[in-house]
Amino acid sequence: MIIFSSQAEIALRSLLPSDRQRIDHFLPQLDGFSERNSVNHRVKLLESEGLENLYMARVSPNFCIVFRQISEGVEIVDIFKQERFENLKKAYKLTS
């Protein structure tokens, strides 16, 4: 099951139709995600001190999805453009 945080729902509603289509096309690949899953070549574990296990998947050259595993399946935490991730990476000293 895929669940959206309120932040991810807002991000999804704000996308252009073509960008929304890319996201919608990718999401089924995360259903039943595990660390040994076939989408792993597109998924990276984000590592930072004190940060829970969050994963980032590149959906297209321009868009990323941040998600985490929960007991019900996968929770989409946020959806954003790649350049925003680069800014967050610098701010929180994330490694990917």
Give every CB contact of residue 23 below 8 A, 6+ residues apart in sequence: 12, 15, 59, 63, 65, 79
Q: How many domains are there within the chain?
A: 1
Q: Give the length of the chain.
A: 96
> What's the CATH number where 14 sits?
3.30.2310.20
What residue type is assigned to position 12 of the chain? Answer: L
Enclosing domain of residue 83: 2-94
In the sheet that holds 54-58, the strands lie side by side as 2-4, 73-81, 63-70, 54-58, 43-46
- Tens digits of pLDDT across the chain (96 residues): 999 999 999 999 999 999 999 999 999 988 878 766 656 667 888 776 666 788 889 888 889 999 998 888 899 999 998 787 778 778 877 655
